[in-house]
């Protein structure tokens, strides 16, 4: 089956003129499949109305391929006349979608993690919004943890995509000021099935910790190799691996891993006064009742946050235009850009013309893996 051929649509019963059309592009196959599949599961749980309006939602699969993602974005805009795009699951396809969406003046809510999707805020990027925490915010939380644990030398393994490069730059920018040395940086491709060279390169530098910048199941590859070769230091990962597949593939090799993530991953463990606890528990309860205990992931949660954002922005846009028109797409973009205190399982969002992510420290907590489960670090 072609990568873009998997399509699902649902619609409420209502006049077509009042219907909001949402095009969702996810990586349901390929290296990012473990991110795209929980997002698809979540989109299937979206209510039939968004922002009080009947919705038609079309899901397509980009196969983790940027070229296919761009093609599907063009198809959804030209043939389906979508009012907004959601996706993709990772950074490279999201950038391809962003470029198409911006040229066609269609707002995009991306589930991809790299800030290259929205920065710099000019050209096509003014039509794009991103849900996962920015690299700098995530790295800031990890460096705080490193300092608390007296870690001074950190080796890096970074995937050769915009996601890996974004995290690497953020870490390089903050590490020096924090007094942390980076003695070695190894690169790995998202499609690589072996990380022997990278593991040996990093271990030769004898770092106190290793920080892996990768996503999905490929993120486990270098960690498995490090552990196999006897590395005993602390291993840090990014939110890009925060799903059940990573735990399954990693097994005992990922015990003790530390990472900064959105609070939904440990919703039950959050203090009662945490601003995201209620939203997180509502999502987790609904998702796991449908797909099984422990099935939650950040990548499903981002899809629920996309719904939350649209649910807040669509009523504002409806005040000045009707769905299916350029005026509505512009109004929806403007409403997204001016969101204030929109609470979701991922955090609390406050957008602005300068910031199309809008998360603050409330969107990151530190977790570790203990006995095969995510555990909140107090």
Asked whether residue 240 falls in the same domain as residue 291, the answer is no
Q: How big is the CA angle at 361 (ends 359 and 362), to the nearest 5 degrees?
A: 80
In a domain, residue 145? The reply is yes
In a domain, residue 272? The reply is no
In a domain, residue 116? The reply is yes
Dihedral sign of CA atoms 312, 315, 319, 325 in order: positive
Is the per-residue pLDDT at 309 higher than 90? yes
Average pLDDT value over all residues in the chain = 94
In a domain, residue 375? The reply is no
Residue 217: its pLDDT value, please? 79
Asked whether residue 142 falls in the same domain as residue 220, the answer is yes
In a domain, residue 376? The reply is no
In a domain, residue 269? The reply is no
Q: Is the pTM of this model over 0.75?
A: yes
At which of 261, 291, 306 does a domain end? 261
Asked whether residue 88 falls in the same domain as residue 103, the answer is yes
Pairwise pLDDT comparison (335 vs 8), residue with the higher score: 335
Asked whether residue 355 falls in the same domain as residue 333, the answer is yes
Is the per-residue pLDDT at 348 higher than 70? yes
Is the per-residue pLDDT at 2 higher than 60? no
Q: For residue range 40-64, what is the model confidence (pLDDT) as tens digits? A: 999 999 999 999 999 999 999 999 9
Asked whether residue 99 falls in the same domain as residue 189, the answer is no
Closest CA to 85 of 64, 112, 54, 67: 112
CATH of the domain at 58: 3.40.50.2300
Q: For residue range 170-194, what is the model confidence (pLDDT) as tens digits? A: 999 999 999 999 999 999 998 899 9
Asked whether residue 79 falls in the same domain as residue 176, the answer is no
Provide the domain count of the chain: 2
Structure tokens at 338: 């001016």
Which 3 state secondary structure label does DSSP give 119? Answer: coil
In a domain, residue 364? The reply is no
Asked whether residue 142 falls in the same domain as residue 243, the answer is yes
Q: Are strands 53-61 and 49-50 parallel, antiparallel or unpaired?
A: antiparallel
Structure tokens at 373: 């489960």
Where in the sequence is the domain holding 201, given as residue range(s)? 135-261
Asked whether residue 118 falls in the same domain as residue 144, the answer is no
Query: Which burial class, exposed, middle or buried, applies to 351 when counting CB atoms under 10 A from its CB (0-12, 13-18, 19+)?
Result: buried
CA distance 118 to 124: 9
- For residue 225, the 8-state DSSP code is H
């Amino acid at each position: 089956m072609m990568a873009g051929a998997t399509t699902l649509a649902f619609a409420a019963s209502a006049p077509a003129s009042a219907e909001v059309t949402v095009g969702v592009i996810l990586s349901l196959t390929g290296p990012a499949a473990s991110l795209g599949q929980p997002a698809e599961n979540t989109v299937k749980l979206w209510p039939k109305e968004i922002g009080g309006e009947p919705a038609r939602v079309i899901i397509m699969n980009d196969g983790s391929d940027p070229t296919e993602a761009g093609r599907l974005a063009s198809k959804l805009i030209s043939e389906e006349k979508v009012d907004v795009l959601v996706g993709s699951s990772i950074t490279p396809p999201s950038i391809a979608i962003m470029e198409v969406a911006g040229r066609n003046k269609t707002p995009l809510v991306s589930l991809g993690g790299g800030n290259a999707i929205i920065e710099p805020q000019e050209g096509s990027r003014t039509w794009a919004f991103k849900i996962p925490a920015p690299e700098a915010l995530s790295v800031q939380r990890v460096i705080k943890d490193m300092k608390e644990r007296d870690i001074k030398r950190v080796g890096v393994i970074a995937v050769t995509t915009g996601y890996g490069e974004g995290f690497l730059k953020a870490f390089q920018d903050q590490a020096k000021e924090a007094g942390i040395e980076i003695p070695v940086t190894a690169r790995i491709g998202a499609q690589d099935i072996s990380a022997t060279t990278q593991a040996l390169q990093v271990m030769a530098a004898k770092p106190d910790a290793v920080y892996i910048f990768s996503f999905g199941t490929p993120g486990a590859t270098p960690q498995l190799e490090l552990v196999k070769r006897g590395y005993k230091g602390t291993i840090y990962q990014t939110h890009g691996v925060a799903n059940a597949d990573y735990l399954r593939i990693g097994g005992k090799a990922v015990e003790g891993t530390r990472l900064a993530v959105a609070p939904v991953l440990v919703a039950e463990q959050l203090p009662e006064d945490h601003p995201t606890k209620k939203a997180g528990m509502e999502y987790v309860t609904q998702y796991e009742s449908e797909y099984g205990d422990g099935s939650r992931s950040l990548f499903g949660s981002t899809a629920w946050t996309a719904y939350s954002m649209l649910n807040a922005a669509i009523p504002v846009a409806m005040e000045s235009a009707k769905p299916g028109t350029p005026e509505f797409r512009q109004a929806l973009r403007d409403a997204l850009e001016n969101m204030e205190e929109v609470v979701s399982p991922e955090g609390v969002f406050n957008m602005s013309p300068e910031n199309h992510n809008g998360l603050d420290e409330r969107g990151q907590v530190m977790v570790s893996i203990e006995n095969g489960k995510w555990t909140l670090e107090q």
